[in-house]
């Protein structure tokens, strides 16, 4: 049984927790809606809503008027359906033929990524039941998608297939470099021009990056797919200033506690491999967080953790369940750190998730979505000031209030 399935008070019995601020999520929806203009937001809640908890997040999004959701695969969509989420759910991943009956059974929308998938969809709709699809055009990402030369035939084939509703057409941008983004957009718009009256009713191209940095790409589209920005995240440090300028708020704060403090003599080493050596007498704090919780094992000594309003560098290798911090000399500012103190791995009181991820040459999306199931998600409400709501059932009830 995972910690997320335990009774709501049990999260207090582990040192680490991820605080999810639903008020910040609501705020970000408002900011992004303004940024997207006439385009409707499609809330991307794949990978358990980037680690924030898909069901709780989806309920807030629906309450805030986000009418469409997107996930990565069929089980993610089924989880939302079983939780009572009735909004349209687009599965972004490329489907294999054997998956398609489940789309029909659970009312999930299919992303058509090739002429072969289009043929499979037509057959599945005949045998298993009606299917709603969005055709994905590969305009230069070269991951999945129908080539521009095949798009017209694919759309017409699907529109002629009994039981298939072609609701949307889309593409995905490789980056937010304006030059290449506009090249991709030109290829996609050429497809729309060729389709003419056969263009599906819903057209979407923008992800979080282009909503934030290339807003003209969203103009004239019916929808904008927003994922990371919903959670106050961007891909790297270079974009973090724009997030602050756009008033987006971080939704997750990852917190642990100090479980041990000791003094080391000069020359003593810390953790596996003895990669960190005390150059002079030093205090070392151990906190209850490690790669078993989803933290990068390769977090270097340039990484920091916040305690009591100060940040302290990581000392030595991150272990499965614990990591150590260099508090500095025994008579320094770190001497006030004690067992039980709160340690902020990212979020207010510590480094940002963007900074923490950058310390390992990673991205904030990978950091939050990589947190394991043993990290309890503790939800913070925001209707009349923040309050802590325990995880699972109580939190989901609060999120859907």
**Sign of the dihedral defined by the CA atoms of residues 8, 388, 70, 372, in that order:** negative
Which of 46, 50, 103, 231 is catalytic? The answer is 46
Cross-strand partners of 203: 169
The token pair that represents 199 in the structure block: 């263009």
Strands (E), 103-193: 108-112, 131-136, 164-170
Asked if 136 is an active-site residue, the reply is: no
DSSP bridge pairs for 225:
42
3-state helix, strand, coil in the chain (%, to 5): 40, 25, 35
Helices 54-63, 22-36: axis angle to 10 degrees equals: 50
Using an 8 Å Cβ cutoff, are 86 and 67 in contact?
no
Q: Catalytic residue at 46?
A: yes
Residues 6+ apart with CB under 8 A from 12: none
Query: Helix or strand or coil: residue 305?
Result: strand
Selecting among 231, 272, 291, 365, the annotated active-site residue is 272
Dihedral (Cα; 52, 55, 61, 67), 10-degree rounding: 140
From its phi and psi, is residue 315 left (phi > 0), alpha (psi between -120 and 50) or beta?
Answer: beta
Catalytic residue positions, numbered: 46, 272
């Amino acid at each position: 049984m995972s910690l997320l399935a335990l009774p709501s008070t049990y999260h207090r019995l582990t040192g680490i927790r991820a605080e999810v601020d639903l008020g910040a999520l609501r705020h970000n929806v408002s900011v992004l809606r303004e940024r997207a203009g006439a385009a409707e937001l499609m809330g991307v809640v794949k990978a358990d809503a980037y680690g924030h908890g898909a069901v709780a997040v989806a309920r807030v999004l629906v309450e805030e008027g986000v009418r469409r959701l997107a996930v990565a695969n069929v089980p993610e969509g089924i989880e939302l359906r079983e939780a009572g989420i009735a909004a349209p759910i687009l599965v972004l991943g490329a489907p294999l033929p054997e998956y398609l009956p489940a789309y029909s059974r659970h009312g999930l929308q299919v992303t058509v990524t090739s002429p072969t998938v289009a043929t499979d969809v037509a057959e599945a709709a005949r045998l298993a039941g009606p299917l709603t699809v969005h055709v994905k055009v590969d305009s230069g990402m070269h991951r999945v998608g129908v080539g521009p030369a095949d798009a017209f035939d694919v759309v017409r084939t699907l529109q002629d297939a009994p039981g298939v509703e072609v609701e949307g057409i889309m593409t995905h941008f490789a980056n937010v470099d304006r030059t290449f983004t506009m090249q991709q957009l030109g290829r996609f718009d050429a497809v729309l021009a060729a389709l003419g009256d056969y263009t599906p009713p819903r057209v979407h191209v923008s992800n979080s990056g282009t909503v934030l940095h290339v807003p003209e790409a969203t103009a004239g589209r019916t929808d904008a797919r927003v994922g990371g920005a919903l959670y106050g995240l961007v891909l790297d440090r270079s974009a973090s200033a724009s997030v602050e300028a756009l008033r987006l708020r971080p939704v997750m704060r990852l917190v642990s506690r100090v479980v041990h403090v000791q003094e080391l003599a000069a020359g003593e080493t810390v953790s596996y491999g003895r990669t960190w050596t005390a150059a002079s007498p030093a205090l070392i704090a151990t906190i209850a967080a490690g790669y078993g919780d989803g933290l990068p094992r390769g977090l270097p000594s340039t990484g920091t953790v916040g305690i009591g309003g100060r940040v302290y560098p990581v000392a030595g290798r991150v272990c499965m369940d614990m990591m150590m911090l260099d508090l500095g000399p025994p008579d320094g500012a770190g001497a006030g750190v004690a067992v039980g103190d709160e340690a902020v791995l990212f979020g207010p009181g510590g480094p940002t998730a963007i900074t923490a991820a950058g310390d390992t040459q990673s991205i904030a999306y990978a950091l939050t979505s990589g947190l394991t199931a043993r990290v309890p998600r503790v939800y913070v409400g925001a209707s009349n000031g923040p309050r802590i709501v325990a995880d699972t059932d109580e939190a989901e009830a609060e999120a859907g209030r």
